[in-house]
Amino acid sequence: MKQDTRGSAGTGAAVTGPAPVGRLRVPAQPAAQDAGRECGRGDRCDRPDRAGSGAARGEHTHGEHAHGEPALPRPRPAVQRSSVRGQVLDALRTALVTGDLRPGGVYSAPALAERFGVSATPVREAMQQLALEGAVEVVPNRGFRVVERGARELAELAEVRALVEVPVMMRLARSVPAERWAELRPLAEATVRAASSGSRATYAEADRAFHRAVLALAGNEQLVRIAEDLHRRAQWPLVGSVPGVRGRAELVADAHEHTALLDALIAGDLDVVRSLVGEHFNGAV
């Protein structure tokens, strides 16, 4: 359950610094047909004759494709246009957790789009969403820079998460019946399996799912949304940290904290619950 402070490695087509994001995959969309339809709706096309429109939105608008880099194959499954943005956003969020998008690295929407096998529009929209979340910032005429975070920001996030989550968990521990807690057992066990896989992205998602389910018992959607945002931010790597610094064994130990907490909640042992949640956030930095 401790927040991951490992480092990163990025991509670098038409960008400065990072290495290619070769592992990211999203289903391709019919690029040529979609481009025409997007223009018909008043959206900006990704054709060269419209390239100049992207500069103000932080895109690289000339020399967009790196020389010598092979293009990824572009399968054409039946994917709705509205779903592509969400798939790209999920892929980019995963890349932030794993460090494939390196803190401080600059990435252009067209270059990432070529690697995803989609048009630049859904990539641009996803990156703009990440900008709203504070994960990236716009670099005019170049793309989007991944925000660099230090230990102080991580400590601040841990403090805010504790202020939000600990009182709620303690209140729920006093009011939620044991059978309701028992229903969360599959989610707690899923975090252990995810940790055992060694995939930080898989574990990060399972970790958030468990916390989200616990807080959802409070019946406050705004609370769940705010806590989810804080949790996601806490999972981004720190600048200068070493990729892979947290091994599988440490992830598994973190995951077992979920099952221990759930056992205490089912047993109604408030002292153990208080101790576990306190150690969790105090040790998150």
Q: For residue 53, is pLDDT > 90?
A: no
Give the model's confidence band at 14: pLDDT under 50 very low, under 70 low, under 90 confident, else very high: very low
Task: Look up the CATH number of domain 151-282.
Answer: 1.20.120.530
Question: pLDDT tens digit string along 168-197?
Answer: 999 999 999 999 999 999 999 999 999 998
Q: For residue 125, is pLDDT > 50?
A: yes
Question: pLDDT tens digit string along 142-174?
Answer: 999 999 888 888 889 989 999 999 999 999 999
Mean pLDDT within 219-240: 88
**Percent of residues, the chain, with pLDDT higher than 90:** 45
Q: For residue 202, is pLDDT > 50?
A: yes
The Cα–Cα gap between 121 and 238 comes to 29
pLDDT (0 to 100) of residue 240: 59
The Cα–Cα gap between 144 and 138 comes to 5
Give the model's confidence band at 207: pLDDT under 50 very low, under 70 low, under 90 confident, else very high: very high
Mean pLDDT within 89-98: 90
pLDDT (0 to 100) of residue 226: 95
Cα separations in angstroms, 233 against 64, 96, 156: 29, 10, 11
Whether residue 48 contacts residue 41, with contact meaning beta carbons closer than 8 Å, is answered with no
For residue 205, the tally of other CB atoms under 10 A from its CB is 19
Report the mean per-residue pLDDT for the chain.
Answer: 76
The structure tokens listed for 88 are 């790209």
**In the chain, which segments carry CATH 1.20.120.530?**
151-282
Q: What is the 3-state secondary structure (H, E, C) of the chain?
A: CCCCCCCCCCCCCCCCCCCCCCCCCCCCCCHHHHHHHHHHCCCCCCCHHHHHHHHHHCCCCCCCCCCCCCCCCCCCCCCCHHHHHHHHHHHHHHHHHHCCCCCCCEECHHHHHHHHCCCHHHHHHHHHHHHHHCCEEEECCCEEEECCCCHHHHHHHHHHHHHHHHHHHHHHHHHCCHHHHHCCHHHHHHHHHHHHHCCHHHHHHHHHHHHHHHHHCCCCHHHHHHHHHHHHHHCCCCCCCCCCCCCHHHHHHHHHHHHHHHHHHHHCCHHHHHHHHHHHHHCCC
Whether residue 75 contacts residue 116, with contact meaning beta carbons closer than 8 Å, is answered with no
Q: For residue 10, is pLDDT > 80?
A: no
pLDDT (0 to 100) of residue 25: 53
Mean pLDDT within 39-48: 43
pLDDT (0 to 100) of residue 100: 87
Q: For residue 129, is pLDDT > 50?
A: yes
- State the virtual CA torsion across 166, 151, 258, 204 in degrees, nearest 10: 120
pLDDT (0 to 100) of residue 61: 43
Max Cα–Cα distance, the chain, nearest Å: 66
**pTM higher than 0.75, yes or no?**
no
pLDDT (0 to 100) of residue 165: 93
Residue whose entry in the numeric block shows the structure tokens 């105090």: 282
Task: For residue 138, list its beta bridge partners.
Answer: 144
**In the chain, which segments carry CATH 1.10.10.10?**
31-146
Give the model's confidence band at 227: pLDDT under 50 very low, under 70 low, under 90 confident, else very high: very high
CATH fold for domain 31-146 = Arc Repressor Mutant, subunit A (1.10.10)
Task: For residue 119, list its beta bridge partners.
Answer: none
Q: What are the phi and psi torsion angles at 259 (to 5°)? A: -65, -35
For residue 100, the tally of other CB atoms under 10 A from its CB is 24
